[in-house]
Chains A and B, each alone.
Chain A
Amino acid sequence: MDRIPVLQIGEFLLVSIQVDMHDQLAMALQDDLTERIAAVRARGVLIDISALDIVDSFIGRMISNIAGMSRVLDAQTVIVGMQPAVAITLVELGLSLDGVRTALNLENGMRLLRAGSA
Chain B
Amino acid sequence: MTAVSVFQRLGEFLTRHEQAILRRWTEGRASDAAAFSSAQDERQGRDLFGAIVQASTVSSVATVEGPAWHDVRRLLEEFSVQGARRGLSPGQTARYVFSFKEPIFELLRTREDTDSASTAEDVWATSLLFDSLGLFTMETYQRAREEIISRQREELLELSTPVVQLWDKIIALPLIGTLDSARTQVVMESLLQKIVDTGSEVAIIDITGVPTVDTLVAQHLLKTVAAARLMGAECVLSGIRPQIAQTIVHLGVDLSGVHTKASLADAFRKALALTRSDSTAETSLYGKL
A residues with a Cβ closer than 8 A to B are: 79-80, 82-85, 87-88, 90-92, 94-105, 107-109, 111-112, 115
| CB pair B223 A88 closer than 8 Å | yes
Task: Please determine whether B283 and A100 come into contact, CB atoms closer than 8 angstroms.
Answer: yes
Kindly count the residue-residue contacts between A and B in the assembled complex, taking CB atoms under 8 Å apart: 81
Over the window 230-264 of chain B, the binary record of Cβ atoms lying under 8 Å from chain A Cβ atoms (1 yes, 0 no) is 11110000000000000000000000000000000
Shortest beta-carbon distance, A116 to chain B, in Å? 8
Minimum CB–CB distance from A81 to chain B (whole Å) comes to: 8
Name the residue on B nearest A93 (C-beta): B286
Q: Which of B135-186 contact A (CB under 8 A)?
A: none
Interface presence of B196 (CB below 8 A): yes
- Residue on B nearest A103 in the bound complex, by CB: B232
Chain A residues lying within 8 Å of B227, measured Cβ to Cβ, are: 84, 87-88, 90-91
Q: Give the distance in Å from the alpha carbon of A79 to the alpha carbon of B283 in the complex.
A: 11
A103-B280, A104-B201 are known contacts. Are A97 and B231 too (CB-CB below 8 A)?
no
Complex CA distance for A103 and B195, rounded to whole angstroms = 11
B189 in contact with A84 (CB, 8 Å): yes
Minimum CB–CB distance from A44 to chain B (whole Å) comes to 14
Instruction: Given A82-B231, A104-B201, check contact A112 B196 (CB 8 Å).
Output: no
The answer to whether A99 and B284 have CB atoms under 8 Å apart is: yes
Contact B232 A82 (CB under 8 A): yes
B199 at the interface (CB under 8 A from A): yes
Q: Is there a chain A Cβ closer than 8 Å to B289's Cβ?
A: yes
Q: A residues within 8 A CB of B278? A: 111-112, 115
| Docked complex Cα distance between A92 and B215 (Å) | 16
Residues of A within 8 A of B287 (CB): 96
6 contacts between A and B (CB under 8 A): A87-B230, A87-B231, A90-B227, A91-B230, A94-B286, A104-B201
Among all A-B residue pairs, the 8 with the closest Cβ atoms? A84-B192, A87-B227, A103-B232, A102-B232, A87-B230, A104-B232, A102-B281, A91-B226
B104 on interface, CB distance cutoff 8 Å: no
Interface size of B by CB at 8 A reads 26
- Are A99's CB and B282's CB within 8 A? yes
- Note all chain A residues with C-beta closer than 8 A to B284: 96, 98-99
Majority secondary structure, A binding face: mixed
The yes or no answer to B193 lying at the interface (CB within 8 A) is yes
A92 touches B281 (CB 8 A): no
Known: A84-B227, A87-B227, A87-B231. A108 touches B283 (CB 8 A): no
List of A residues within 8 angstroms of B281 by Cβ? 101-103, 112
Instruction: Please state if A91 and B282 are interface contacts (CB–CB under 8 Å).
Output: no
**Among B189, B223, B231, which residue has its beta carbon within 8 angstroms of that of A104?**
B231
Q: Does B228 contact A (CB under 8 A)?
A: yes
Q: Are A84 and B283 in contact (CB under 8 A)?
A: no
- Which of B200, B227, B231, B284 has the largest number of chain A CB atoms within 10 A? B231
Report Cα–Cα, A94/B286, bound state, in Å.
7
Pairwise interchain contact A84-B193, C-beta atoms closer than 8 A: yes
Given contacts A102-B280, A103-B281, A112-B280, contact A97 B230 (CB under 8 A): yes
Binary flags per residue of B185-205, CB closer than 8 Å to A gives 1, else 0? 000010011011001110000
Closest A residue to B190 using CB positions: A84
A100–B283 alpha-carbon span in the complex (Å): 6
Given the known inter-chain contacts A94-B286, A115-B278, please indicate yes or no for A102 contacting B231, CB distance below 8 A.
yes
What residue in chain A is nearest B283 (Cβ atoms)? A97
Q: Which residues of B contact A92 (CB under 8 A)?
A: 223
Q: How far does the Cβ of B190 sit from chain A's closest Cβ, in whole Å?
A: 9
